[in-house]
Amino acid sequence: MVSENVWLVPAGVIGVYDYVIVGGGSAGCVLAARLSENPDARVLLLEAGPEASADEIAIPAAMSRLLQSKYDWNYTTVPQERAGDRTIYWPRGRVLGGSSSIDAMIYTRGSRFDYDSWRDDFGCTGWGYRDLLPYFRRAEANQRGVSRWHGADGPVSVRDLTVRSPHGKAFIEAAQRRGAPDNDDFNGPVQEGVGFYQVTQRDGRRCSAADAYLPPDVRAARKNLTVKTGMLVTSVLIEGGRAAGVTVRYRGAEESVRAENEVILAAGAIGSPQLLMLSGIGPADELRQHGIFVIADNPAVGANLTDHPMVPVIWATPGLRGPWERHGNAGVARWKLTHKGPLTSNIAEAGGFARSGPRLQAPDLQWYVLPTAFLNQGLTDPARRAMTVAVTLVNVASRGRVRLASKDARHRPLIDPAYLSDVSDLSALTTGVRMVRDYASAGPLSAITAGEIAPGDSVGTDQEVRDYIRANVSTLYHPTGTCAMGGDSALHAARQASVVDTMLRVRGVTGLRVVDASVFPTLPRGDTGAPTIAVAERAADIIVGRAPLAPDPVDAVTSELIVARLYSPCPWPPGVGEAGPGLAEVVEVGAGRGRF
Ligand SMILES: Cc1cc2nc3c(=O)[nH]c(=O)nc-3n(C[C@H](O)[C@H](O)[C@H](O)COP(=O)(O)OP(=O)(O)OC[C@H]3O[C@@H](n4cnc5c(N)ncnc54)[C@H](O)[C@@H]3O)c2cc1C
């Protein structure tokens, strides 16, 4: 085996490796780091975008500067039939670190019920909550230290924010007055409640998956790891039913790279299904329409696209300075010198989870509180003092699809998230808007707000709120599910056709896996960065043939269930259901007294 970090350039083939990983995003960085721990394994990571060395990537509060920049694929959905026939801007990271280099750094994992549903409803043995919790911990370096729920020694630095805006504090207090419980750990025993988020930062800088897993010392030390940026992969080379490598577009020419063990697609929920289809794996009719030779007919490729839809509620806050007033030259100088100050804010500092009805087993709504007017998806600079609660549906029924627009890998695919195509999504979002309006009428929020900018006073009835949602719904940036994992049984196949098996191997060919957010059978109720990393951590063990980490003992999970049952904090709508004990009173059964 060759173990030197060289770029071989024989005619036509520009390198031979054991593993070729396509896409240097959240999952790709984990895989590159874990697979190259074995010095005998030659690992190549191919990323279409550039290195992530710019200050605007490192500065947490500069996130909006990354939208529609050279670090963004800058996708747009097809017109959304149930959302005013609008096309909607969809950012995705096109840079080392992928979307984790342009995201809002919020560290949440979703609900245990999500992963248990993967295992029980979709036959994904080995991917339940008990199976994944050890991988969440392995990935994590939480400043609060090690616990049943958290790791302290992993690559991903998770921190409490050091700046907290008064807008977020007012929201939390107001929501509590309306019955929402206080929660200082959305990734602990109970997900529901309001509080400040923890963020993926290290020393006041963004900690992307590239920072976490491929820091300069790792890249320098691993002679068996080659990271190549600016390389657009155009297809997987399939020879005799086996993935033998990939073709890449580099400096205007088409070249190929060979993989002796495996090709692993980690190109994200848009890039991975696009590449499978370009390589002849997907819905046969559609592939033929584009003149692509069909290798494996699978209509599930690109299907099951699921995203969290979001709608903003915005109030004027004339007495509070907005971030842009605090971020001027002095703020930049301070951040550059000390990595401290207001520029360490991820802007969406506070929020939480709630249920739109008392009988739901887990939260279906998430709040993101921004001390600014979140206009036009963050593309318009806010000109007035305001705050936003981004009301987000996290248990989504609508399903869409990614299709090819052409057989040219440089052409963006057609993205149809089918927002609001299931009417239950619209009704849950309508309740969500009503809930945050109710919070806004409570003392701490009403004291800082001076009128609702959006939806505005003219929007009152349920019908008017629904019209507002249809006219304004957009993405919360969490597309998943387009190369869904599923078990082998007929029952599970009947429920949802799958693209990869539970070892993440692509059905219909050998030597090819998909490892990224596209394999999620359903979308977790929370942000998707941490789940993607946990999935990639487990996938790395599977790929190298290491026994997976032992599942968490049943008693830990049981204790959480008992806590969840004891604790039914959903007094909204007012008068429906009784609030259970607050978190401060909850005892972790079977685990001694927890940190609450
Ligand atoms: C604006 C924004 C805000 C977000 N905020 C949060 C947040 O606060 N918290 C959170 O947990 N999650 C957040 N997310 C979501 C989170 O970042 C993603 O879910 C996660 O990064 C997905 O990881 P992935 O590996 O599946 O894909 P990505 O990280 O997107 O990686 C895919 C990589 O593949 C590369 N690629 C694609 N096609 C090709 C090709 N043909 N050839 C070569 N390379 C290719 C891409 O350039 C990219 O680097 C946010 C996302 C965005 C866009």
Tokens 């947490």 locate to 60
Q: Are 367 and 127 in contact (CB under 8 A)?
A: no
Q: How far is CA 252 from CA 9, 231, 248, in A?
A: 15, 10, 10
Distance (Å) from CA 166 to ligand 1 centroid = 30
Of 286, 227, 243, 196, nearest to 5 by C-alpha is 227
Domain co-membership, 532 together with 581:
no
* pLDDT tens sequence across 53-80: 999 999 999 999 999 999 999 999 999 9
The residue among 24, 63, 96, 104 whose CA lies nearest residue 530 is 104
* Mean pLDDT along residues 534-546: 98
Burial bucket for residue 240 (CB in 10 Å: 0-12, 13-18, 19+): exposed
Residues 488 and 571 both lie in one domain:
no
Q: Is residue 420 part of a domain?
A: no
478 is catalytic: yes
Please name the residues in contact with 9: beta carbons below 8 A apart, sequence gap of 6 or more. none
Q: Which of 65, 72, 100 has most ligand 1 atoms within 8 Å of CB, for mutation?
A: 100
Q: Are residues 14 and 108 in the same domain?
A: yes
Whether the Cβ atoms of residue 376 and residue 367 lie closer than 8 Å to each other: no
Instruction: Kindly give, in sequence order, each residue whose CB lies less than 8 Å from that of residue 417, ignoring residues fewer than 6 positions away.
Output: 77, 80, 88, 305, 306, 307, 309, 398, 400, 475, 479
Q: Helix (H, G, I), strand (E, B), or coil: what is residue 143?
A: coil
DSSP string for 457-490:
TT--SHHHHHHHHHHH-EE-S--B-TT-B--SSH
The alpha carbon dihedral of 325, 331, 333, 335 has a sign of negative
Give the pLDDT of residue 375.
86
Q: Return d(Cα 498, Cα 508) in angstroms, integer.
A: 11
* 547 lies in the same domain as 563: no
316 domain-assigned: no
Which structure tokens are listed for 478?
A: 């969490």
Q: Is 267 in the pocket of ligand 1 (CB under 6 A)?
A: yes
The answer to whether the CB of 448 falls within 8 A of the CB of 385 is: no
> Based on the domain organization, do 77 and 37 belong to the same domain?
yes
Q: Identify whether 398 is part of a domain.
A: no
- Domain check: are 495 and 568 in the same one? no
**Does the beta carbon of 478 sit less than 6 angstroms from any atom of ligand 1?**
yes
Q: Is the CB of 506 under 6 A from ligand 1?
A: no
Determine the atom of ligand 1 nearest the C-alpha atom of 529.
11
pLDDT, position 251: 80
Say yes or no: 520 and 581 in one domain: no
How far, in Å, from the CA of 255 to the mean position of ligand 1? 25
Q: What is the pLDDT of residues 293-323, one digit of tens each?
A: 999 999 999 999 999 999 999 999 999 988 8
Helices (H) then strands (E): counts for the chain: 18, 24
CB 431 within 8 A of CB 440: no
Ligand 1 binding pocket includes 232 (Cβ within 6 Å): yes
Q: Give the number of C-alpha atoms closer than 13 A to the C-alpha of residue 35, restricted to the C-beta side.
A: 31
Cβ proximity of 316 and 375 under 8 Å: no
Structure tokens at 203: 């020393």
Tell me: do 484 and 576 sit in the same domain.
no
Query: What's the CA-to-centroid distance between 483 and ligand 1, angstroms?
Result: 15
Distance CA 514, CA 521 (A): 13
Structure tokens at 504: 């993440």
Detail the DSSP E strand segments found in 229-340. Answer: 232-239, 242-250, 253-265, 281-282, 296-297, 309-316
Pocket lining: 49 vs ligand 1, CB cutoff 6 Å = yes
Tell me the average pLDDT of the chain: 91
**Which of 84-93, 384-393, 570-579 is predicted least confidently?**
570-579
The gap between the terminal CA atoms of the chain, to the nearest Å, is: 52
Q: Are residues 15 and 46 in the same domain?
A: yes
Q: What is the mean pLDDT of residues 97-117?
A: 97
User: Ligand 1, from 47, 74, 103, 307: best to mutate by most atoms within 8 Å of Cβ?
Assistant: 103
Closest by CA to 227, choosing from 206, 244, 213, is: 213
Average pLDDT over residues 460-479: 98
Whether the ω angle into residue 573 lies within 30 degrees of 0, i.e. cis, is: yes
Interval 195-216: pLDDT, tens = 999 999 999 999 999 999 999 9
Q: Are 514 and 9 in contact (CB under 8 A)?
A: no
- Confidence at 495, pLDDT banded by 50, 70, 90: confident
Q: What is the pLDDT at residue 322?
A: 84
- Name which of 245, 572, 564 is nearest 433 in CA terms: 572
Coil/strand/helix, residue 571:
coil
pLDDT computed for residue 553 by the predictor: 85
pLDDT in tens, 257-301: 999 999 999 999 999 999 999 999 999 999 999 999 999 999 999
Q: What is the mean pLDDT of residues 117-126?
A: 96
Count of domains in the chain? 2
> Is the CB of 514 inside a 6 Å radius of any atom of ligand 1?
no
Q: Catalytic residue, from 150, 167, 478, 492: name it.
A: 478
Could you tell me the distance, in angstroms and rounded to a whole number, from the CA of residue 567 to the centre of ligand 1? 35
Give me the count of residues in the chain.
Answer: 596
- C-alpha 96 to ligand 1 mean position (Å): 10
SS3 220: helix
CA of residue 314 to ligand 1 center, whole Å: 27
* C-alpha dihedral (252, 253, 254, 259), degrees to nearest 10: -100
- Beta bridge partners, 158, equal 142, 200
Which H/E stretch holds residue 435?
Answer: helix 423-440
Query: How far is C-alpha 15 from the chain's CA centre?
Result: 32
Distance of CA 137 to the CA centre of its chain: 17
- Does the structure show a pLDDT above 90 at 252? no
**Could you tell me if 238 and 257 lie in one domain?**
yes
Is position 97 within any domain?
Answer: yes
Q: Is the dihedral of CA 532, 537, 543, 549 positive or negative?
A: negative
Q: Is the residue at 278 inside a domain?
A: yes
Domain that holds residue 575: 554-585
415 lines ligand 1 (CB under 6 A): no
What's the whole-number mean pLDDT along residues 7-21?
A: 74
The atom number, within ligand 1, closest to the CA of 73 reads 47
pLDDT digits (tens, 9 = 90+) for 404-455: 999 999 999 999 999 999 999 999 999 999 999 999 999 999 999 999 999 9
Taking the CA atoms of 175, 179, 180 and 183 in sequence, report the sign of the dihedral they define. positive
Residue 24 maps to a domain: yes
Say yes or no: CB of residue 24 within 6 Å of ligand 1: yes
Cis upstream peptide for 455 (omega within 30°): yes
For residues 232 and 285, membership in a common domain is answered with yes
Q: State mean pLDDT over 517-526.
A: 98
432 lines ligand 1 (CB under 6 A): no
Residues 496 and 580 in one domain: no
Reported as type and span, the H/E element at residue 142 is: strand 140-142
SS (H, E, C) 162-179: CCCCHHHHHHHHHHHHCC
pLDDT > 90 in the chain, percent: 84
Which residue's alpha carbon is nearest to atom 9 within ligand 1?
A: 106
Is 430 domain-assigned? Answer: no
Give the position of tokens 């087993």: 361
Tell me the C-alpha distance between 567 and 582, whole Å. Answer: 8
pLDDT at residue 87, as a whole number: 98
pLDDT digits (tens, 9 = 90+) for 136-158: 999 999 999 999 999 999 999 99
The model carries a pTM of 0.94
Question: What local confidence, expressed as pLDDT, does residue 5 receive?
Answer: 40
Identify whether 408 is part of a domain: no
Confidence of residue 13 (pLDDT cuts 50, 70, 90): low
Q: Which CATH number fits the domain that encloses residue 541?
A: 3.50.50.60
Residue, of 253 and 129, whose pLDDT is higher = 129
Could you read off the pLDDT of 373-409 as tens digits, one per residue? 998 888 887 778 999 999 999 999 999 999 999 999 9
Single out the residue of 548, 509, 26 nearest to residue 241, CA to CA. 509
Residue 556 Cα to ligand 1 midpoint, Å, equals: 31
Banded pLDDT at 585 (limits 50, 70, 90): very low
Rg (CA), the chain: 23
* Residue-level pLDDT at 367: 98
Give pLDDT tens digits for 322-359: 887 877 788 888 999 999 999 999 999 999 999 999 88
Check whether 11 has a pLDDT greater than 60.
no
